[in-house]
């Protein structure tokens, strides 16, 4: 597979505002993302689960709690890059997701909130809460309604895994969320989803700076 992704560039398939209005049709094969990055997050055709891209593999965290390799699916919204961390550190005594976000924001504040960042937080987690969603059928609901009616939550304790975090600056506008957004996958690749909460005593943290942003075409 020919790699098209450039160092320090974050790539995006789709448009969050368009997606949030209920446009959940897949735009490109999820396997195509791997030409532009080996790490990232997103979702799938018909909002069918949460996407985690880790070490060049695209995973789907489905509504029923399973995790599947998802090369044969399509995506309406995803972000990927080839992970090349500038910072490697350790976070300790993180009791909840807000605290993790604050610690990552300290890094973003010190290096520039006008950049994009991808973070990997790997370790043993005392508690993890994630969500996924039922696959949608037409007529599609707007995302705000979908998350109220078709969200499925899972609570796990004492497991190893990796959180992938994406930070977008305010300049992203309506193309994506500004601030941090997190997905999780367990070390055994059997549990995962959009991260709602997490706690841990110690975890390895790697942060990659992204100076450029590009939209992926078919």
pTM: 0.97
CATH no. for 87-131+153-215: 3.30.1330.80
Domain definitions of the chain by residue range: 87-131+153-215
Predicted local confidence at residue 1, as pLDDT: 61
Please report, rounded to a whole number, the percentage of residues in the chain having pLDDT higher than 90: 96
Banded model confidence at residue 218, pLDDT cuts 50, 70, 90 = low
User: Residue 90: phi, psi to the nearest 5?
Assistant: -140, 135
Q: What is the pLDDT of residues 118-137, one digit of tens each?
A: 999 999 999 999 999 999 99
Q: Where are the alpha helices (DSSP H) in 22-155?
A: 97-111, 143-149
Distance in angstroms between the alpha carbons of the first and the last residue of the chain: 15
Q: What is the pLDDT of residues 9-32, one digit of tens each?
A: 999 999 999 999 999 999 999 999
Predicted local confidence at residue 5, as pLDDT: 75
Banded model confidence at residue 76, pLDDT cuts 50, 70, 90 = very high
Residue 130 β-bridge partners: 154, 195
């Amino acid at each position: 597979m020919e790699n098209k992704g450039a160092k320090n560039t974050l790539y995006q398939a789709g448009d969050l505002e368009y997606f949030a209005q209920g446009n959940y049709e897949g735009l490109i094969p999820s396997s195509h993302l791997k030409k532009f990055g080996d790490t990232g997050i997103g979702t799938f055709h018909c909002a069918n689960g949460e996407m985690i891209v880790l070490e060049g593999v695209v995973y789907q965290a489905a509504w029923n709690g399973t995790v599947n390799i998802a090369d044969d699916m399509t995506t309406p919204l995803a972000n990927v890059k080839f992970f090349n961390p500038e910072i490697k550190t350790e976070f300790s005594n993180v009791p909840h997701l807000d605290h993790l976000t604050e610690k990552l924001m300290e890094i973003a504040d010190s290096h520039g909130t006008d950049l994009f960042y991808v973070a990997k937080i790997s370790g043993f987690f005392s508690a993890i809460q994630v969500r996924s969603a039922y696959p949608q059928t037409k007529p599609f609901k707007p995302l705000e309604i979908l998350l109220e009616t078709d969200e499925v939550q899972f609570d796990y304790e004492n497991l190893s895994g990796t959180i992938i975090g994406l930070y977008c600056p305010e300049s992203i506008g309506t193309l994506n969320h500004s601030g941090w957004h997190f997905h999780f996958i367990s070390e055994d690749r059997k549990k995962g989803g959009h991260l709602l909460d997490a706690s841990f005593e110690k975890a390895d943290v790697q942060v990659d700076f992204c100076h450029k942003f590009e939209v992926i075409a078919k």
